[in-house]
């Protein structure tokens, strides 16, 4: 079995190749999302593998919800990457929220690469039961 990837030149300096326009472009993925809606609001689960809390940004403006994140491949301190075949992606996804939702009360949790957003309905937009009076 032979590997044709040159990792180190003969003089023990790392091999490099010129950065072209395509190599410099960042890979941006649209993360898979599950959305469940009930009378209280919407719960959204987004898969963001390799994303740490400090690399995640959630913005709401004018009824638009935007999720942006960058993944990292953990590398132990003192080690130097010689060759990588995995491209570390950025994630981006946008949603339009209706006026029924209270964007000031959105709750966000990131656990094991899964982002959970709880987007409540405004109290006045929630379904309610109307009492019927006799007579």
Kind and range of the H or E run holding 67: strand 64-71
Domains of the chain (ranges, CATH numbers): 26-74+84-123 (2.60.40.790)
pLDDT values of the chain reduced to their tens digit, one per residue, 135 residues: 334 444 444 444 444 444 444 444 678 999 999 999 988 999 999 999 999 999 999 999 999 999 999 998 777 888 887 877 777 889 999 999 988 999 999 999 999 999 999 999 988 767 778 888 887
Output helix, strand, coil percentages for the chain, rounded to the nearest 5.
5, 40, 50
Taking the model in full, what pTM does it have? 0.70
- CB burial class (10 A; 0-12, 13-18, 19+) of residue 34? exposed
**pLDDT tens per residue, range 32-51:** 999 999 889 999 999 999 99
d(CA 43, CA 24): 36
d(CA 79, CA 82): 9
């Amino acid at each position: 079995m032979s590997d044709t990837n040159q990792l180190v030149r003969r003089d023990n300096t790392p091999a490099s190749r010129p950065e072209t326009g395509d190599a410099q472009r960042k890979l941006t993925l649209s993360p898979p999302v599950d959305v469940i809606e009930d009378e209280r609001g919407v719960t959204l689960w987004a898969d963001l593998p390799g994303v740490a809390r400090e690399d995640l940004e959630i913005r709401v403006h004018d009824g638009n919800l935007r999720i942006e994140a960058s993944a990292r491949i953990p590398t132990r301190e003192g080690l130097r990457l010689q060759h990588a075949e995995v491209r570390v992606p950025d994630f981006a996804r946008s949603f339009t929220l209706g006026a029924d939702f209270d964007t000031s009360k959105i709750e966000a949790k990131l656990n094991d690469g899964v982002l959970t957003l709880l987007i409540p309905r405004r109290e006045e937009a929630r379904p309610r039961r109307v009492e019927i009076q006799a007579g």
